[in-house]
Amino acid sequence: MKQAIQIKENMYWVGVHDFNCRHFHGDLFPIAEGTTYNSYLIVDEQVTLIDTVEEEFYDTMMERIRSVIGERTIDNVIVQHAEPDHSGGFLKFMKDYPNARPYASNAGVGIMLKQYFKSYDFQRVKTGDTLSTGRYTLTFVEMPMIHWPDNMLTYVAEQKIAFSNDAFGQHIASYDIFDDAHGAAKCIDRAKDYYANIVMPYGMQVANKLKQIRDMNLDIDMIAPAHGIIWRSYLPELFQAYEDFATFKAVDKAVIVYESVWKHTQMMAEALAEGMGRNGICVKIFKCSMTSPAIIQKELLDAKAVLVGSGNYNNAMAGSIAAFLEKLITCKVKNKKGLGFGSYGWANLVTKEINARLEKAGITLLNDEVVSQNYTPSEADLDALMELGKQIAEEIKAM
Ligand code: FEO
* pLDDT of amino acid 213: 84
Domains detected in the chain:
3-231 (3.60.15.10), 253-396 (3.40.50.360)
Residue-wise pLDDT for 323-373, tens only, equals 999 999 999 999 999 999 999 999 999 999 999 999 999 999 998 889 999
Q: Are strands 337-344 and 371-374 parallel, antiparallel or unpaired?
A: parallel
Nearest CA-CA partner of 317 in 339, 291, 344, 292: 344
Given a contact cutoff of 8 angstroms between Cβ atoms, the answer to whether 318 and 337 are in contact is no
327 lines ligand 1 (CB under 6 A): no
Given a contact cutoff of 8 angstroms between Cβ atoms, the answer to whether 161 and 40 are in contact is no
Query: With a cut of 70, which residues of the chain have pLDDT below it?
Result: none
* Region at 315 (left for phi over 0; alpha for psi -120 to 50; beta for the rest): left
* pLDDT of amino acid 203: 86
> Residue-wise over 261-294: b if at least 16 C-beta within 10 A, else e?
eeebbbbbbbbbbbbbbebebbbbbbbbeebebb
* pLDDT of amino acid 32: 84
Nearest CA-CA partner of 262 in 213, 209, 318: 318
Active-site residue 182, yes or no?
no
Q: What is the residue type of 331?
A: C
Distance CA 220, CA 238 (A): 12
256 phi/psi in degrees, rounded to 5: -110, 125
- Give the active site residue among 86, 182, 227, 264: 227
Residue 148 CA, closest ligand 1 atom number: 2
Q: Record the pTM.
A: 0.94
Given a contact cutoff of 8 angstroms between Cβ atoms, the answer to whether 148 and 83 are in contact is yes
171 lines ligand 1 (CB under 6 A): no
